[in-house]
Amino acid sequence: MNGKCATAAILSIFAAFLTTSVQAQPQAAAPSLVAPVAAQAWMDKSLAPDIRADLVQAQLTHEEELTLVRGYFGANNRGRTDAYPDGIRKALPGSAGYVAGIPRLSIPALTESDASLGVANGGEMRPGDQAVALPSSLLTAATWNSALAYAGGAMIGAEARRKGFNVMLAGGIDLAREPRGGRTFEYVGEDPLLAGVMAGEAIRGTQDQRIISTIKHFALNDQETGRNTMSANISDAAMRESDLLAFEIAIERGDPGAVMCSYNRINTVYACENDILLNKILKGDWGYKGFVLSDWGAVHSTVEAANNGLDQESAYNFDKEDYFGAALGQALAAGTVPQARLHDMVHRILRTMFAKGLFDNPPVKKPIDAGADLAVAQRDAEEGIVLLKNAKKLLPISFVKRPSRRITIIGGYADLGVLSGGGSSQVIPVGNVPELEVLTGGAVRMGPDQKPQIPTGTIILSPPSPYAAIRSLAPWARVVYYDGSDIAKAAALARISDIVIVFAQQWTGEGWDVPDLSLPGNQDELIAAVAGANPRTIVAIESGTPVTMPWLDKVGAVLETWYPGNRGANAIARILFGAVNPSGRLPITFPQSESQLPRTAIPGRERAYMRLPLEDTHSPFDVDYTEGANVGYKWFKSKKLIPLFPFGFGLSYTSFDFSRLKAAGGAALTVTFDMRNTGKREGMATAQVYATPPGGVARLIGWSKLDLKPGETRRVSLTTDPRLLASFDSEAKLWRVAAGDYGLALGSSSADISAGATVHMDASTIKP
């Protein structure tokens, strides 16, 4: 391992990652000075946000209105400062974005940072600029515990305030339609209800700290390969029932102040200039009152973008041209963008800033409360790690405590820390970040038959190390670590051990997809050899996506730990030794192989250069989402495919029984059932209910996660959101629940059903 660390490496790599071809930009016109307003009536907190916005907007000059719709890339930008109106760089160092305020009217600047997994530190890590790294959002989704999603969001919001940010570019929710997606770890799985609830709660948590959170990337940015040019082609009904339903639910629950439109095209039209998506669906059908900001480099026009719904160009110096600078002024003068449209953009931005507290509660810089925040990260990890296999109750490790006991830990840099995903969401975790691994692969050109390689990047490991955490829980044992580089040696060590824990890693990141779902390198071979030498082998996987497991039959136990964050090692150790009873459930299907997926290879990959995101060299290409709304387990069910592990699956150290399912249908569907702990120790059960409409495919319609004592039974009642039973009628723009008999299944996963029922529903319609 090349253990050369550190700041310089991060800087250069992030600079390469974040910097696009920056062209010289004309300086924006300086706002004209208007006499100060004596009484700033809009500062009256008792007024409604729309009224306050109207009051302040009436004072704005044309130039000032234009200032508010155009933002700057916050990070160093190769030292350039000419992007700022007065030549002075004002963004917080290392941050993602900055939109100048209007001090004379007390309008604060927007100070923006990434994002969903903690306060990211961009390209300019400086001592003391660390933040608590939450586990990946996919892990949070695996908790199926909306309170934890809220707590994580609130933790991030609180840290953001203390670092001076008032906008978090959080709320990643693109459905895991393409499990190989490089950002699968930043999102919340494959089901619209689970994703919508979890992302919505995280956003609510962040915004309760009186800052704005985005939801992103709107929409169908479901793969990274060719993300700047690919077109996600899908019918209106299918997108409304899948990817857009996830956004719709999350927006209702979390009320994000801003929506970030995505890089890709949808049905051939770029998301940030997509009238159907932005004007018709988001602002029209859903009545969204916040503002639409662009992803960094996702704007392609002035007139189309402005008229079709984009309200703010986030980082004009990332876009190919300065679309919302002088060009917007000219379009307004020429009347190709109506003046009223500029007023609407500005109104949306200002009313959101009032509504979310940016005027009344500006962030106050102070040190983060790392102790409290790490506890949030640990609880999340403890509930989101999924126990996938536990043959002969190998776990929890419970052998007699004797110094002669030998626990061998192999691979995965488990002596250093746990893995995190790469890209703009990267948090520099708190603690003594041990080593930063710089891969030397480089940007690789690949032909149709070649496997793409991982691009150059910095792998950041979160402390503490699993080795240290395991040792602290087993001080009586002889715990040894071996890096696994020599498979024969690893097997020999396994042979003389009482128990072996192999740490397996799959690094993923923004801007590239993994070529397949196998563990990279020779890890599959390593695990097979170790398990062959000692069946008491536990595999702890740190991955951004589902992975395949050719060695599954040989090993004793498997834990999917995702990217478990800044207290991930502690959570893993506590699960291994039984201090925590695992309760995570898969938010994404684990296929047996890529051949089971709707697309056996990532579209566009054959002509891909494995380049970093903004240097995307793809020519435009189409991806036809012919599976429609059948994403993930719905695809598997519709094709009668048996996955390696189904959506919703996860084991516990106790056992549960779900029974006495009763359903009341008619106009609305309510289900009632018993959840019982039939085992010998306390544990958290997650009962899931799936409904199958007449002629349709099963859909998750609700779940209940409960902590149950041994022998305890609780009766639970859930009322279903009727959209989950409906199909979308694109002509009438309505959800329609068809009259008929609906199959209901109560179970511990989408495939393990313990009780069923049939319920009759009346026909009904729901307005979006």
Contacts with ligand BGC, residue ranges (CB under 6 A)? 96, 114-115, 169, 216, 295-296, 424, 613
Task: Report, in Å, the least distance between residue 613 CB and ligand BGC.
Answer: 6
Under a CB-based contact definition with an 8 Å cutoff, are residues 139 and 563 in contact?
yes
Smallest distance from ligand BGC to CB 275, Å: 22
Between 205 and 297, name the residue whose CB sits nearer to ligand BGC: 297
Q: Please count the helices (runs of H) and the strands (runs of E) in the chain.
A: 18, 32
CB nearer to ligand BGC: give 216 or 637.
Answer: 216
Nearer to ligand BGC, 299 or 597 (CB): 299
DSSP-derived secondary structure for 53-95: HHHHHTT--HHHHHHHTB-EE-S-GGG--TTSTTS---SPTT-
- Are 198 and 152 in contact by the 8 Å Cβ rule? The answer is no
* Cβ atoms within 10 Å, residue 191: 31
The nearest distance, CB 421 to ligand BGC, in angstroms, is 12
SS3 letters for 262-312? CCCEECCEEHHHCHHHHHHHHHHHCCCCCEEEECCCCCCCCHHHHHCCCCE
Q: Kindly state the smallest distance separating residue 349's Cβ from ligand BGC, in Å.
A: 17
CB of 216 to ligand BGC, least distance (A): 6
Give me the sheet containing 167-168, strands edge to edge.
72-73, 97-99, 110-113, 167-168, 212-218, 258-261, 291-294
Q: Which is nearer to ligand BGC, 216 or 723 (CB)?
A: 216
Render the burial of 99-132: b for 16+ CB within 10 Å, e for the rest.
bbbbeebebbbbbbbbbbbbbbbbbbbeeeebbb
- Please answer whether residues 98 and 109 qualify as being in contact, where contact means their C-beta atoms are separated by less than 8 angstroms: yes
How would you classify the pairing of strands 609-610 and 212-218?
unpaired
Nearer to ligand BGC, 31 or 226 (CB): 226
Q: Which residues of 174-188 are buried (b: 16+ CB within 10 A; e: fewer)?
A: bbbbbbbbbbbbbbb
Q: Which is nearer to ligand BGC, 214 or 561 (CB)?
A: 214
In three-state secondary structure terms, 609 is strand
Task: Please say whether the beta carbons of 185 and 560 come within 8 A.
Answer: no
Q: Shortest Cβ distance from residue 597 to ligand BGC (Å)?
A: 24
- Give the residue with the Cβ less far from ligand BGC, 296 or 354: 296
Write the DSSP string, 409-452: EESTTTTT-EE--BSTT---BSS----EEEP---SEE--TTSPP
Rounded to an integer, what is the distance from CA 231 to the centroid of its chain?
A: 21
For residue 372 the two structure tokens come to 């409290």
CB of 270: closest distance to ligand BGC in angstroms?
Answer: 14
Residue 346 beta carbon to ligand BGC: minimum distance, rounded to whole angstroms? 22
Nearer to ligand BGC, 97 or 412 (CB): 97
Least separation in angstroms between residue 383's CB and ligand BGC is 25
Least separation in angstroms between residue 213's CB and ligand BGC is: 11
Amino acid at 308: N
Strands 97-99 and 72-73: antiparallel
What gap in Å lies between CA 373 and CA 378, rounded to an integer?
Answer: 9
Cβ neighbors of 26 (< 8 A, separation 6 or more) are 322, 325, 326
Q: Which is nearer to ligand BGC, 216 or 379 (CB)?
A: 216
Q: In the complex, what is the shortest distance from the CB of residue 347 to ligand BGC, in angstroms, rounded to a whole number?
A: 24
49 vs 544 by CB, closer to ligand BGC: 544
Please report how close the Cβ of residue 163 comes to ligand BGC at its closest, in angstroms: 15
Tell the smallest beta-carbon distance from residue 369 to ligand BGC (Å): 25
Contacts of 477 (CB under 8 A, 6+ apart): 401, 402, 403, 405, 406, 407, 498
Which C-beta is closer to ligand BGC: that of 231 or that of 264? 264
Among residues 384 and 511, whose Cβ is nearest to ligand BGC? 511
Min dist CB 172 to ligand BGC, Å, is: 7
Q: Give the nearer residue to ligand BGC in terms of CB position, either 166 or 378.
A: 166
Strands 258-261 and 212-218, by their bridges, are: parallel
Residue type, 92: L
Which amino acid makes up residue 182? Answer: G
Strand order in the sheet with 683-692: 699-708, 683-692, 740-747, 753-761
- Tokens standing for 23? 């062209």
Q: Which is nearer to ligand BGC, 424 or 583 (CB)?
A: 424
- Count, residues in the chain: 768
Q: Which is nearer to ligand BGC, 169 or 597 (CB)?
A: 169
Pull the structure tokens for residue 440.
């030397």
- As measured in angstroms, the least distance from the Cβ of 386 to ligand BGC is 26
